[in-house]
Structure 1
Amino acid sequence: MNSLTIGLDTAKSVFHAVEKNSRGRVLSKAKLTRAKLFTYFANKPPCTVALEACGASHYWCRVISAYGHKAVMIAPQYVASHRKGNKNDFNDASAIADVAQRDDIRTVPYKSIEQQDIQLLHRVRERLVRQRTALGNQSRGLLSEYGIVLRQGLAHVRKELPFIRHLKG
């Protein structure tokens, strides 16, 4: 692995890369579309590529690693404190590269696709449980406006709701 570090500011369609040597000197900057990003990393010698930890960064770390590079994710709070100048994509990429070259900054491990699948299932289940609870509470609240009071808890709503046939005032 050579001493080249690339800071990559990710986005949905346009990516900004800043290459720095081991002394922190900017060697080049590149503005890349999603399609050109794959070619860009395929043609680079093995180096360290740093990304800010965000939504798609796990995916990009896996892609970049597949090209033989060392991919690292940096927590956003570290990047913000190292940014020089106004906030823009190249300054963000430069700050990401700066942070990646430091020895005292902990990186965020990126997830395998299997780990992301499990996390996705947990998040979907958690959302469904919250929605089920909210629907039960809303049903109890609406029924109470008609004088029908159900005990608190989803089990009571499930048990008593089928027996409520007509709303008579």
Structure 2
Amino acid sequence: MAPMLRSLLLLALAWPAAAPAQAPAAPAACPAVLQHTFARLQDEKPQPLCQYAGRVLLVVNTASFCGFTHQYQGLEALHARYRDRGLVVLGFPSNDFAQEKGSNKEIAEFCENTFGVRFPMFGKSAVRGADANPLFRQLAAQTGQAPTWNFHKYLIGRDGRVVAHWGSRTAPDNAQLLQAVEKQLAAR
């Protein structure tokens, strides 16, 4: 065997074999209700909701100067308790009820400093009426109920369907709400 051919053969045998080509994992399908992008509250950078596809979501319209503002604490506790199982709380500040007058930066500082909010929050927007953001228009259309006050909660299953909603008086630690969340988390 010629020395050059022998060298090439030895080199080929020593070279690590390429891993077989694997098809990339298919991303979770993004349901219609999540096909929106909103500015994050803290830095106003666009954030697509499709990143939450396949998770259980609790979507809440919030306000900093409302009798229900203390629910931030319960929402953060709920998010922390179940996030490893797939729950994400999404907060949408709104001044629709004249109780959220601050800028996005002021709202972000208030939520973090007062209640330690770490769940995703988005920039202030309308959640009812003709000016409602597209997510809340869809939630209202699917449930027949737009928020009538701050801290209205919509539960979205892993499949992107709205499975329940509760008004402001239902606290994040409400037994029925927790039961519905756990049921959705158990569903695959």
TM-score strictly above 0.5: no
Decide which structure has greater helix share: 1
Higher RCO (C-alpha under 8 Å, 6+ residues apart): 2
Larger Rg computed on CA atoms: 1
Normalised TM-score (structure 1) = 0.31
